[in-house]
Amino acid sequence: MNHQEILKKLPYGKDFLFVDELLDVNENGVVGRYTYKENLYFYDSHFKNSPVTPAVILTETLAQIGLVCLGLYLLKDDLDMQKASLAMTSSSIDFLKPVYPGDKVKVISEKIYFRFNKLSCRVKMEDETGNIICKGTISGMLISNLNEQ
């Protein structure tokens, strides 16, 4: 599966997609980029007159690039996104510096393990100069859609 095929399989709409491009994907990890556009909906309220990207959005970006994109690659054609989803089950992230509107970030993920449809990764986010913004571990698993009978 190539980078564009992975991006097309991501289960997010345009307002909640935090992946611009994948630079590398292999059996052991993934590297991708995202730019936090200045007009994103949460900047109007977090914080007024001094917008900063919420930690939950940073975590979501780490999960989308570092966990979901890697999971899609590892599962390849075995995953039908109409009948299953990749869901984050746990995270432990240390936040070291803020991210502002317009900032470009790179996410680097390294697989810790993938077994029994559970994926665990060591993730980090860097700014354009290579400074670490946040880092930690994220895990997730393949789940069947509840509305499928």
Please give the mean pLDDT across all residues of the chain: 91
* pLDDT, greater one: 19 or 85: 19
pLDDT at residue 57, as a whole number: 98
Query: Is-catalytic flag, 3?
Result: no
Q: Does the CA dihedral 145-137-58-66 come out positive or negative? A: negative
**Gap between the Cα atoms of 109 and 145, Å rounded:** 26
Q: Does 81 have pLDDT greater than 70?
A: no
In 27-139, where does DSSP find H-type helix? 55-63, 70-75
Give pLDDT tens digits for 34-57.
Answer: 999 999 999 999 998 899 999 999
Q: Confidence class of residue 116 from pLDDT cuts 50, 70 and 90?
A: confident
Catalytic residue among 3, 9, 33, 46: 46
Q: Are 115 and 99 in contact (CB under 8 A)?
A: no
Instruction: Give the type of residue at 80.
Output: D
Q: Domains of the chain (ranges plus CATH)?
A: 3-144 (3.10.129.10)
Percent residues over pLDDT 70 in the chain:
91
Give pLDDT tens digits for 64-79.
Answer: 999 999 999 988 766 5
* pLDDT, greater one: 112 or 145: 112
Q: Are 149 and 128 in contact (CB under 8 A)?
A: no
Rg (CA), the chain: 15
pLDDT at residue 2, as a whole number: 92
**Gap between the Cα atoms of 102 and 111, Å rounded:** 29
